[in-house]
Structure 1
Amino acid sequence: MKQVATIAGFDSNGSAGLAADLHAFFADGVYGHGVLTAAVAENSKRITATQTMPVDFVKDQLNALTDFPIGAAKTGMLANRGIIEAVADAAQQVQGVPLVVDPVIVTKQGDRLVPDDAFEVFCRRLLPQADVLTPNFIEAATLVGETLATPEALLDAALYLQKMGAKNVVIKGKHPQTGEEPVISSLVLLADGESFWVNNPFIKAQKANGAGDSFSAIIAAELAKGRSVMEAIERANDFVVAAIRHPTGVGKQFGPLNHWAGQDWLRGDD
Structure 2
Amino acid sequence: MTPNPPPRVLTIAGSDSGGGAGIQADLKTMLALGTHGMSVIAAVTAQNSLGVQGYWELTPEAVRAQLDSVLDDIGAQAVKTGMLASTALVETVAERLATVGAPVVVDPVGVSKHGDSLLAPDAVTAVRSALLPVATVVTPNLYEVEQLTGIKVADESGLREAAEAVKALGPTWVLIKGGHLPGDPVDLLFDGTTEHRFTAPRHDNRHTHGTGCTLASAIASHLALGSDVPTAVTKAKAYVTGAIAAGFPLGAGIGPVDHNWQR
Q: Which amino acid aligns with 1:189?
A: F
Matched, 1:6 2:11: yes
Distance (Å, rounded) in 2 between the aligned partners of 1:48 and 1:107:
11
Q: TM-score, normalised by structure 2?
A: 0.91
Equivalent in the alignment of 1:156 = 161
Listed as ranges, the gaps of 5+ residues in structure 2 are 1-5
Aligned residue in 2 for 1:268: none
> RMSD over aligned Cα, in angstroms?
1.8
Once the two structures are superposed, residues 183-219 of structure 1 have per-residue CA deviations (whole angstroms, 9 ceiling, x without a partner) of 111111135x211221112123232211110100010
Aligned residues: 257
- Which of these residues, 112, 125, 134, is aligned with residue 130 of structure 2? 125
For 2:3, the equivalent position in structure 1 comes to none
- In 2, Cα distance between the equivalents of 1:2 and 1:79? 28
Given that 2:111 and 2:117 are in contact with CA atoms closer than 8 Å, whether structure 1 keeps it comes out as yes
Aligned to 2:30: 25
Match of 2:74 among 68, 74, 93: 68
Deviations 1:127-182 (A, max 9, x none): 111100000111112211122224343201211221211111111113354xxx3x
| In structure 2, C-alpha distance between the alignment counterparts of 1:210 and 1:107, rounded to whole Å | 9
Partners of 1:175 and 1:202 within 8 A in 2: no
* C-alpha distance in structure 2 between counterparts of 1:222 and 1:174, whole Å: 21
Quote the sequence identity (%). 35
Question: Is 1:234 matched with 2:234?
Answer: yes
The alpha-carbon distance between structure 1 residues 209 and 25, as it changes in their structure 2 partners (threshold 3 A), is same
The equivalences for 1:230-269 within 5 A come to 230-261=230-261, 263-264=262-263
Residue 216 (structure 1) aligns with:
216
Structure 2 residue aligned with 1:34: 39
Q: Which runs of 5+ in 1 are unaligned?
A: 265-270
Amino acid at match of 2:41: L
1:98 corresponds to which residue? 103
CA distance in 2 between partners of 1:109 and 1:156 (Å): 27
| Match in the other structure for 2:148 | 143
How far apart, CA to CA, are the structure 2 residues paired with 1:258 and 1:20?
A: 9
**C-alpha displacement of 1:250:** 3.6
The residue aligned with 2:207 is 207
Say if 1:106 and 1:112, in contact at 8 Å, map to a contact too: yes
Secondary structure class of the residue paired with 2:122: helix
Matched, 1:190 2:217: no
Alpha carbons of structure 1 residues 47 and 112: separation in structure 2 relative to 1, 3 Å: closer
